[in-house]
Structure 1
Amino acid sequence: MLFVLHLMTGLWLQAQTMAGSNEMTINLVVLGRTQTGKSAAGNSLLGSDDFESRLSPSSVTTCCSLGHSCHISGITRRNGCELALRVRVLDTPGFPHSSLSKERVREAVRSALAQHFREEGLHLALLVLRADLPLCPDENEHTVQFIQELLGPTWKDFTAVLLTHADKAKEAGFSEEAYLHSVSSTLLSLLSSVQHKYVFLDNQKSINKEERAIVLRKLLNFIRQNNYQVLLFKHNKE
């Protein structure tokens, strides 16, 4: 059983200030169905190849793993001073999985969330969807249920949608605005429920430093809009 606790980030920022730190760390988890590009997205956010990502007829990711970025400059400032940003991303197995049951995936993710984010907390869960595939009602229902089970009743405040394979939409002649005018009502409803927190990501190639900075600034803005709240996780010992 997993307990999810809320902590206002004033305490988090105060702790960093008391430590005299000019650093900021954001904690992210990528969640979603198999073959949506979660691991590739995690690598893009980190600017590394921490997670295995390749074309495969079966699920590639079989266990949760935590990746760390180097210090990233030029992204954010506090009190007039530039902060060195560090990004931590938890990669997770997809669902449905070619070799793991949904229960196994759920328990693995629960355990990893408690292990890695019980002290600093989770700032944002990234629900990874493919921009080149429609989101159907049944799929959306199962996905939302999965996230609710992991993050609790306020999951919408801590979730953003990451639309991968945006290059495919561009190749089809869609701008981001035109794409959003053409998507299913199911996806529009999901985006509305998470307060329109979404980011497009190109999977055709590794994103460069400038593109990564744009994405990270958007994620930081989502975190700021949420008053820097975090989710803390711990296991119930009962």
Structure 2
Amino acid sequence: MLDDNDITINLLLLGRTQSGKSALGNSLLGSSDFDSHLSPSSVTTSCSFGRSCRITGITRRNGCELSLRVHVLDTPGYSHSSLSKEQVVQTVKTALDQHFRDKGLHLALLVLRADLPLCKDENDHTIQMLQELLGPTWKNFTAVFLTHTDKVEEAGFSEEEYLHAASDTLLTLLSSVQHKYIFVENKAHTLKQKRVTILRKIMDFIRQNSYQVTSI
């Protein structure tokens, strides 16, 4: 949403358990609002909503610097260790209605681990969930975040080499969202350092949509 002095963007985090959703959300907010740690079971069991303070140095309009406010909705992963798919979808729908119903959603951030292959069955499940949550225009309002890219670098792959070797399933997904994707490491200090860069890329994606929102 736009006003004279600042911009507010509404973001939804989606992804499988241990993909790095909550860590990414904390980086975007500049906080530790979301519980994020290694666990043998799913850490996030309910939706959590966070708001950032005003962030400067990200975007300008008509030559003037604007303040950015970021609203992030973190969600339980799928597949979940204690919730069914139906329970996850209903939990997210309820939270979207509560937090973004009036202002709409600017972008869903689909978080995938770059160090794990994206299988067709998982991708089909993901797309079905996005369609249920966002409707038929989900592709316009979704960006892919590939996390744990430090593991990719350790394996000797550049981003270009990684994409060249990626599965058709992943490449098709990236194409379907108009190549709105970002590579990010999952280390807290690296995410913090690259916060401005990540937010600028997100703003670029939102500008491509002319600041439109998808209704919930």
Q: Normalised by the size of structure 2, how large is the TM-score?
A: 0.97
Cα offset, 1:188, TM superposition = 0.2
Offset, 1:204: 2.4
Query: In the TM superposition, what whole-angstrom CA distance separates every residue of 1:49-94 from its partner, at most 9, and x where no partner exists?
Result: 1100011110000000111111111100011110011111100001
The unaligned stretches of length 5 or more in structure 1 are 1-11, 234-238
Alpha-carbon distance in structure 2 between the residues aligned to 1:155 and 1:227: 16
Q: 1:209 to 1:137 in 2, by over 3 A?
A: closer
Q: Could you tell me whether the CA contact under 8 Å between 1:128 and 1:163 is conserved in 2? A: yes
Q: Which structure ranks higher in relative contact order (CA pairs < 8 Å, sequence separation ≥ 6)?
A: 1
Once superposed, what is the RMSD of the aligned Cα atoms? 1.1
Match of 1:62 in 2: 45
1:71 partnered with 2:54:
yes
Counterpart-to-counterpart distance in 2, 1:150 and 1:208: 27
Runs of 4+ in 1 over 2 A off after TM superposition: 204-210
2:137 aligned partner: 154
1:183 aligns with 2:175: no
For 1:55-204, list aligned pairs within 5 A. Answer: 55-204=38-187
Supply the AA of the counterpart residue of 1:155.
W
Q: Which amino acid aligns with 2:143?
A: A
Equivalent in the alignment of 2:213 = 230
User: Between Structure 1 and Structure 2, whose CA radius of gyration is higher?
Assistant: 1
Instruction: Give the 3-state SS of the residue equivalent to 1:232 in structure 2.
Output: coil
Change in CA separation of 1:54 and 1:208 when aligned onto 2, cut-off 3 Å: closer
Identity of aligned residues (%): 70
Question: Displacement, 1:205?
Answer: 3.1
Residue 157 of structure 1 aligns to which amino acid in structure 2? N
> Equivalent residue of 1:230, what SS?
coil
Q: Is 59-68 or 199-208 further displaced after alignment?
A: 199-208
- Count matched residues: 216
Which one-letter code corresponds to 1:149 in the other structure?
E
Q: Which amino acid aligns with 1:81?
A: C
Secondary structure of the corresponding residue to residue 9 of structure 2: strand
Q: Quote the Cα distance in structure 1 between the aligned partners of 2:197 and 2:100.
A: 25
Moved more, 150-159 or 93-102: 93-102
- The answer to whether residue 48 in structure 2 is matched with residue 48 in structure 1 is no
1:209 Cα deviation after fit: 5.4
